Amino acid sequence: MTCEGKVALVTGSSRGLGKAIAQRLAREGATVALTARTLEPDPKYQGSLRETVEEIETLGGAAIAVAGDLSDSAERERLFAEVVERVGAPDILVNNAAVTFLRPLDTFPERRVRLMMEMHVVAPLHLTQLAVPAMRERGRGWVLNLTSVGGDLPQGPPFAEFDRSAGFGIYGTVKAALNRLTKSLAAELFDDGIAVNAAAPSNPVATPGAGSLDLAKTDTEDIGLISETAYLLCTGDPKTLTGRIAHTQPFLREVGRL
């Protein structure tokens, strides 16, 4: 299947994974609605919605930008309504926007726990709820949640040094919750022809966000693997390709793309 004639809403698309996925969907014919907090270029950040739109349009694609704070419920409703008004209800929803703090669990601030839960779990659920009515009416739709191998359960005891010291406890917890949410949505929306999947890089990707957290210095993965995985999950047959928690390299080998 293709993205021709479809609308794709991609969150967190001013930079990093979201930008790469938005560009790929636009290249395949989708009209892409981009959202993040950074609309105009800002020297404090690498990338902006305006720059992503310009790069997509330069290559012949179609895109709009709608800035918003996805940690706020009212903002999510406002930006979703604006997307529908400007380009139509999304056929494809990519929940990529995230915020990450790395701290030991015994000192993790409650407000940051709540913010991470809001961004990684509540916001994807809310946006999916907003997108479902039009998808259900059309009898088709694709929802993709960006997750992480960090959502996999640590093996042990004994526990690996990484799991004992890295401070990834809350990050892993919210991604595990997102994985469970993905599976539940896939099951509940299966009869409506709506595919719900999650995708994760098999290894860290050297994005601006990973750099700010001092990650992705070694064993990095090409960002093209996640955009290819996203494209396949956002165009596959909802009756056979749904409910997947896909790690890029094993998934792409499975489908003959790696």
Fill in the DSSP letter of residue 38.
Answer: -
Establish whether 231 is a catalytic residue. Answer: no
Q: Where are the beta strands (DSSP E) in the chain?
A: 7-11, 31-35, 62-65, 92-95, 141-146, 194-200, 245-247
Question: Helix/strand/coil (H, E, C) string of 151-191?
Answer: HCCCCCCCCCHHHHHCCCHHHHHHHHHHHHHHHHHHHHHHH
Residue corresponding to tokens 């698309």: 13
Q: Which of 80, 142, 171, 231 is catalytic?
A: 171
Crossing angle of the two packed helices 123-138 and 169-189, in degrees rounded to 10:
20
Structure tokens at 220: 């990095």
Q: Do the Cβ atoms of 170 and 116 come closer than 8 Å?
A: yes
Q: Which residues contact 214 (CB under 8 A, 6 or more apart)?
A: none
Please name the amino acid found at residue 186: A
How far does Cα 15 stand from its chain's mean position? 12
Structure tokens at 20: 């790469």
Structure tokens at 61: 């694609």
SS3 of residue 33 by DSSP: strand
Fill in the DSSP letter of residue 239.
Answer: T
Please give the positions annotated as active site.
Answer: 171
